[in-house]
A and B are shown apart, each in its own frame.
Chain A
Amino acid sequence: MFSILSALAQRIDLLKQVRRGNTGDVIYKVLAYLFGLALLGIVVAIIWELWVQSAFARQEFGISFLWSTSFDPVQAQFGALQFIQGTLVTAVVAVSLAAPLGIGIAAFLVEIAPRRVNAVVGFLVEMLAAIPSVVYGLWGIFVLAPFLRDYVAPWLTATLGWTPMFSGSFSGYSVFTASLVLTIMILPTAAAITRNVLQAVPKEQREGMLALGATRWEMFSQAVLPYAKGGVIGAMALALGRAAGETMAVTIIIGNARRIFTSMFEQGATIASVIAGNFTDADSGAYVSSLFLLGLILFAMTFTINVLARLLIKATSSGPTG
């Protein structure tokens, strides 16, 4: 609503400028407008497509699709709950691990590392973000999973095996492995953006805190981090979005079991993995339509995550983030 109003206001402004003869400005604005509209158009088109294509599933299964856990192509019964669970659990676990690590890496680079190390490692971190996800998936199978099975899982079983979270045996392909692979995949995103955000904190803020007799750590935690909070939350929201939407690596490593899981050692599936894994082979209208509906749900989830992140930024920082 607001955007429409402001768009109107800007258009009127634009007309005035044409009259005034600021041609360059006008061209620039029109172009910017077109690109903005194109982006909006693409988003609307995607939602529309998902909506239309999922019509059958929405009618057939109703809103209970959201909390149904059946997924039986033979009986043409489909539900979303196990995939919502898989998506949320893997993404949230990944972000809660990647956030402290990412902030730590960024803090080290910005606050402690010599400038050259910062530049080189910063570049490497950004490179990591560009590695295709299938590579992460394969690394997950051939390196991480055996490592976890031989060293980490036995220890977890011994210490936390009594909790439902780490009960059962660990086969390598699991929600746990997928969450860790996701952690590593989104770590570069989290670290790189956080690094940029921290770097943007004015020198005056750091010096102001140091001059009050703060240690470097106090300076970081009391002045730098609060100042950068909005940006850091934004970085984590982006990372969360990436984790929720990640497909290839998860499909390879999560075990693709279309069931609710109770232990991190069990296999599971995410919305993205089930869509990618089954879309081309889905052999009934109900199946295809259900996958579209899952896509719509994923879209809604990422959208919600971003809105929540924005609200969180607004609520927690009365600071300079605007």
Chain B
Amino acid sequence: MRRMTLWRALLAGLVMALVLAGCGGDVAEEGGTPDEADDGGSENGGDGEAAGSITGAGATFPAPLYNEMFSTFAEEEQGIQVNYQSVGSGSGIEQYINNTVEFGGTDAPMTDEELEEVDVETLHVATVGGPVVPTYNLEGVDELNLTHEVVADIFLGNITEWSDEAIAETNPDADLPDEQIQVVHRSDGSGTTFIWVEWLSAVSEEWADSVGSGTDVSWPTGSGGDGNEGVAAQVQQTPGAIGYNELSYAEENDIPHAFLAPDADSEFVQGSLESAETAIEAAEVPEDLRVSVSALNVTDDGAYPVTGLTWLLIRQEMDDLAACRATAEAAWYATHDGQEFAPPNYVPIGGQTLETSEEFIQSMEAEGEACYEG
């Protein structure tokens, strides 16, 4: 969910330059046009009208989607400009906490510790989801069926050979090589890792006890790659490797990924937009929405359990009414009309997740007024 450090530094520099240039422009405009004239010219009028421009920063994973949907949003709807800087979930959370942006973007929910640093309630508004799939490199094996337990055992280092009986049992037709399993994981902290290990913790007690969950964990075995591309490169370069990637990344690069099932007798499901959407629809999410769907290990028919969400981080109570309204409008758009931009790389949300997100947006307020006007 993030590009290489180098690229990011470049990108951040570029964005900074752009923002600075943008600010310069604004100042000049303001000099020429008094604020009142601006207000008077806008549709809604009055004090509490949506601000002309809001800024968000955070996760890189949904950035292309946000850019696309927000530019359409600016054209079609209220003319609100939304700048989203893709600086990574960590920086996004930091900027959100420091209140230097109207909203943050993250692939992993904020921790309790982080939430305490914010003086008001933080809303996790889910926008889209994405499956994380076990990518592998096995010559001649086009279809690989793994039970949840086997995946956990592989990543725990309990199963080390592809010829292991537990694997052979669910793949009677596959020509499994007599090779060592090379586990590949992310070496950097990432939302992808979070989704993956949340799921491993849900399906394996041993994992939950000995490794646990987070955006970065102490891996019991295997090698680490930097970023999605790092993991993908290692998997593709190493015969006998198994790793985990975002679905869109695996598909773009034509890396095969395994089918999963709770046990050998159940239906094996492969990560896809449909199977992930099924999982999101069926997920019984908690009230604050701070959970990866993967942690719930949804095993309904046709549901792919290793599915994560990406969130907008929004203050329930904001200082500036105009900014609050703009943020609420943008968030609503992102969770409704904007969903049409989700496929093929992102999974639209639905079910309880969508309902909870709607409630969150409706609860936003500033200067004693509700921000979302419907």
Contact = CB atoms under 8 A, between A and B. Distances in A.
B90 A251 contact: no
B206 to A, nearest CB: 14
Interface string B204-242: 000000011111111100111110001001100110110
Contacts of B113: 284
A74 B190 CA distance: 13
A75 B230 CA distance: 25
Contacts of A287: 216
Given A74-B212, A257-B219, A281 B225 contact: no
Contact of B213 (A70, A74, A278, A284): A74
Contact of A71 (B91, B93, B218): B218
A283 B6 CA distance: 20
A278 B241 contact: no
A303 interface: no
Q: Classify the interface of chain A: helix, strand, loop or mixed.
A: loop
B111 interface: yes
Interface in A129-147: 134, 141-142, 145-146
A280 interface: yes
Contact of A256 (B213, B226, B237): B226
Contacts of A267: 222-224
Given A71-B218, A252-B230, A142 B213 contact: no
Interface string A205-216: 000000000000
B164 interface: no
B118 to A, nearest CB: 15
A145 B222 CA distance: 17
B261 to A, nearest CB: 27
A23 interface: no
B86 to A, nearest CB: 13
A276 interface: yes
B182 A283 contact: no
A73 B5 CA distance: 20
A49 interface: no
Contacts of B4: 134
A146 B4 CA distance: 23
A72 interface: yes
Contacts of B5: 276-277, 280
B189 interface: yes
Contacts of B233: 141
Contact of B189 (A71, A141, A255, A281): A281
A280 B238 contact: no
Given A256-B223, A257-B223, A283 B214 contact: yes
A82 B230 CA distance: 21
Interface in B181-217: 182, 187-190, 211-217
Interface string A237-269: 000000000001001100111100000000101
* A-B pairs, 6 with minimum CB distance: A281-B189, A256-B224, A255-B223, A256-B187, A72-B218, A267-B223
12 contacts: A72-B217, A73-B189, A74-B211, A74-B214, A142-B237, A256-B187, A257-B224, A258-B224, A280-B5, A280-B88, A281-B90, A283-B214
Interface of A: 70-75, 134, 141-142, 145-146, 169, 171-173, 248, 251-252, 255-258, 267, 269, 276-278, 280-284, 287
Given A73-B214, A173-B223, A283-B214, 11 more contacts: A70-B218, A72-B218, A73-B216, A74-B212, A74-B214, A171-B182, A173-B237, A257-B219, A277-B188, A281-B2, A281-B88
